[in-house]
Structure 1
Amino acid sequence: MQLLKSVGLFFIQPLFWAGILMTLISYQLRLKNERRNFRIAIDRDFYEARHFIKHGLLFLVLGSLFALIFGLSLPTQTLVLYQILAVVALLFINVGDLSLAALLVTGTVTFVLSETPFGSDASWASYILPHELGTRFGSAILLLTAILALFQAFLARENKAEWFSPKIFAGKRGRRIAGYTWREFTVFPLIMFIPGMNFDSWQQWLDPSQYLTHFMVVPLFVGAFCKIYKQQPKEALHLRQRQSYLIAFLAGLLALVAYFVPVVGFYGIAGLLLILVAQAFGRLKADHDAKRWYVETSEGVRIVAVKPETPAAKMKLEVGDIILECNGIKVATGDELYEALQKSPAYCRLKVKNFEGELKLAESAIYADSPHEIGLVLFE
């Protein structure tokens, strides 16, 4: 009965419904942006919802396993404050990622308010400040940060370049530039022990009554975001993944130290917040320092996007590639490309220069009598 009640409470939490709402909004914004820029939706699949559910279930299993093994526990008041900040962070998922920051700010605010008269003596503070902070509070926040950072790295590892949604901007000298945005997020339930449960013997692990009366199901938000103008999608994702792994390693190490030296907890949390800010600037710099733009070119036809499960996708054409020749005919515009496709309406052969300037050949059967459905999205 306690298990069912805890699960039921998860589905009425504001953070969970904010996640559902933002999934719908992100999908609609993506389609609206693509139709405004290209008159079509590049991928009408509602993959945002599929990823939200799939990752939520996966992180439920893995996260709860971590939490149960390490006896992870946080005060109820801290979870209330976290949920407020996580909802705010979730509302900004289409412009940036603040999922780890929401948790670290929760820890920082709790530490600061609990040590100042403004917080500890105020009547309102009882809603967000625990009655007793405990010596392992900082370690718990850091351990949970490490878990979320690992999940964030997983999001960046799994996703593909086809989920970078393009948007057209006016560039210098009258040429247009494509920029790309990628986001992934989910809200997942985490089974967590409430404060006061100690594990002094292995017999407590084997007693089911210990779990049914001493845990709660907590909603957690994890997300990742990339916006690029010059980097390749794979490079941006790889950098995002490496940064998340670094946070996970540092947070795990600091959690271990803070377990034995509690004062390290506050400084570790504050330090990780500064590192998150530095990483955000690092991503901006990496994109700024990249060598090429996704810009219109007179050399051939620049590929802005590739529709999934089309002949273009089967030919492994990528964002940023320039089609120089089609069926032996040099092309410089989209109209010239589709005219060349008509020369062989059931098969096409392309000469392509990739984003690094290397030449490659690509060929595939195409839809008979429908060369425009090859799956390429070009500058209109």
Structure 2
Amino acid sequence: MNIRLVAALVQEWMLELLKGLGRLLLNPVFYYLFFLAAILGVSRVKRERKNFHVRAENAYFELRQLLPLGLAAGLVLSIITIGAGLVIPIELIVFAAGFTLLWSLTAKIRLLSPVYTVGFAFFAMLFFLSKKWELPLITSKTPEWSPDILSPIAVLLALLILAEGILISRNGGKGTSPKLVIGKRGLVVGIHEVKRLWMLPVFLMIPGESLAAPFKWWPLFSIGEQSYALILVPFTIGFFQYIKGMLPAESVKSVGKRVVKLGSVLVVLSLIGYWYPLASIVIVALAIIGREIISFRQRSIEDNLPFYFSMKNQGVMILGVLPDSPAAGMGLEVGELVMKVNGAPVNDEESFYNALMQNRAHCKLEVLDVNGQIRLTQRALFEGDHHELGILFVQDERKWETKRVQ
């Protein structure tokens, strides 16, 4: 292969990648996900202000989580899917976008997981193609219902679930939102809540007219004389979890590990579809069932655990630490117990701040960490610090009721 031909192929690839990127900007889901992330941020801030009169993270936190890690995961998936020659029917992409919009209307963020958007789109596509219907305004090059189109979708779904598990493990436990609720005994207790949205822009090959004969030298395009186009698809990963009986980071990470295991098993099983295409239908069904089992198990575990964030007879439980606050600078963490302030024992928010006011220039805390070890932390206080140390506590019922009435 001479240099001119290689240069021409590279130029064609770059042109096609730019076209695929341009198609992303025409996808309404791309813009809709920014809107959803903004709604999540605003609703969280309103709830936190209602509970604590202050917000933990600002309203842009969810927007900042939407893309950075998703871009990296999407790039890896793009390399894998294109390198493996996965050809995805345009019908699946359209139905996945439709289910993304549909499930978002339920206000259940967890339904925006790929297993529910792509999984249900898979079965909707099978029904659609079996009826020999056509999408309006779209010229489809997908053949009539054929087992050959099944296995690439199963592989894609398995890879998306694997990416979901990795994102949950690495990012889901960061910035969990504290929340006050009424426990079974009528007492105010604290929980943590995670509502996270990630966007994974993934380049996919679809049947089309954009790529033609010059690429037949690469096995990726050696499927008869069919030509292909690249399209950048904004897949959604939605994650919701409430945590009442464990440390938030540990609970979220354990769920992430289970999702990673599920995705790994599905990746292996999905390869069976290349020898037995109809097995892909079973694999997609198993993906939906497996993800549901993980969610059900997590809820069951949490329901059977006692409340971790509750008022104690000794010490004050830290429910939340505001970013960039004096408390964050002192290394205080969620789940720790403040036992003494400036040498005085404390057991509620009022006694904490009364002890803090005894020395307006200095703060010395005796803290019981999550490993049961006592440590000391201290820092100088500046004007206003004693009022805004940046710790969120489980408040007593009378104080919380007053805030709710307000």
TM-score interval, smaller chain = 0.7 to 0.9
AA aligned to 1:188 is L
Q: Does 1:17 align with 2:31?
A: yes
1:60 and 2:91 are equivalent in the alignment: no
Q: Give the alignment's TM-score, normalised by structure 2.
A: 0.81
Give the residue type in structure 2 aligned to 1:328.
G
Using a 3 Å threshold, how does the CA distance of structure 1 residues 129 and 288 change in structure 2: closer, same or farther? farther
- For residues 160 and 187 of structure 1, do their structure 2 counterparts lie closer, same or farther at Cα, with a shift above 3 Å needed? closer
Q: For 1:53 and 1:114, how far apart are their aligned partners in 2?
A: 33
- 1:87 alignment counterpart: 101
- What residue in structure 2 maps to residue 250 of structure 1? 265
Once residues 311 and 293 of structure 2 are traced to their aligned partners in structure 1, the CA distance between those partners, rounded to angstroms, is 32
With 161-170 and 254-263 compared, the bigger mean Cα shift is at 161-170
After TM superposition, give the deviation of residue 316 of structure 1 in Å.
Answer: 3.3
Matches within 5 A, 1:31-70: 31-44=45-58, 46-70=60-84
Deviation of 1:344 after TM superposition, in Å, equals: 3.4
Residues 1:293 and 2:308 are matched in the alignment: yes
Q: Do residues 104 (structure 1) and 119 (structure 2) align?
A: yes
What is residue 236 of structure 1 aligned with on the other side?
251
Letter in 2 for 1:77: E
Pairing of 1:1-380 with structure 2 (within 5 A) = 2-44=16-58, 46-92=60-106, 95-99=109-113, 100-112=115-127, 114-115=129-130, 120=131, 130-159=142-171, 161=173, 163-195=175-207, 203-204=217-218, 214-354=229-369, 358-369=372-383, 370-380=385-395
| Secondary structure of 2:231 counterpart | strand
* 1:176 CA drift (Å): 0.1
Q: Please tell me the residue identity of whatever aligns with 2:294.
A: Q
**8 A contact 1:327–1:349 mirrored in 2:** yes
Over residues 138-193 of structure 1, what are the superposed CA-to-partner deviations in whole Å (9 max), with x where a residue is unaligned? 22122112221222122222227551112211224442011211132222321111
Give me the whole-angstrom Cα distance separating, in 2, the residues matched to 1:287 and 1:71. Answer: 42
> CA RMSD of the aligned region, Å?
3.2
Give the equivalent residue in structure 1 for 2:9.
none
- Summarize the Cα distance change of 1:121–1:360 in structure 2 as closer, same or farther, 3 Å threshold: same
149-158 or 338-347, larger mean C-alpha shift? 338-347
Asked if structure 2 preserves the Cα contact closer than 8 Å seen for 1:302 and 1:379, the reply is yes
- Alignment coverage as a number of residue pairs: 373
Shift of 1:289: 3.2
The TM-score normalised by the length of structure 1 is: 0.87
Q: Residue 318 of structure 1: SS of its match in structure 2? A: coil
Counterpart CA distance in 2 for 1:290 and 1:250 is 29
Deviates more, 1:78-87 or 1:196-205: 196-205
Percent identity reads 23
Partner SS state of residue 58, structure 2: coil
* Equivalent-residue separation in structure 2 for 1:199 and 1:90 (angstroms): 41
Deviations 1:221-261 (A, max 9, x none): 12322111212212211222112112211221122101111
Q: Per-residue deviation at 1:97?
A: 4.1
Partner SS state of residue 218, structure 2: helix
Structure 2 SS opposite 1:194: strand
In the alignment, is the contact (CA less than 8 A) between 1:162 and 1:306 conserved in 2?
no
With over 3 angstroms needed to count, the CA separation of the structure-2 counterparts of 1:336 and 1:137, relative to structure 1, is same
Cα contact 2:241–2:252 (8 A) shared by 1:
yes
Letter in 1 for 2:63: A
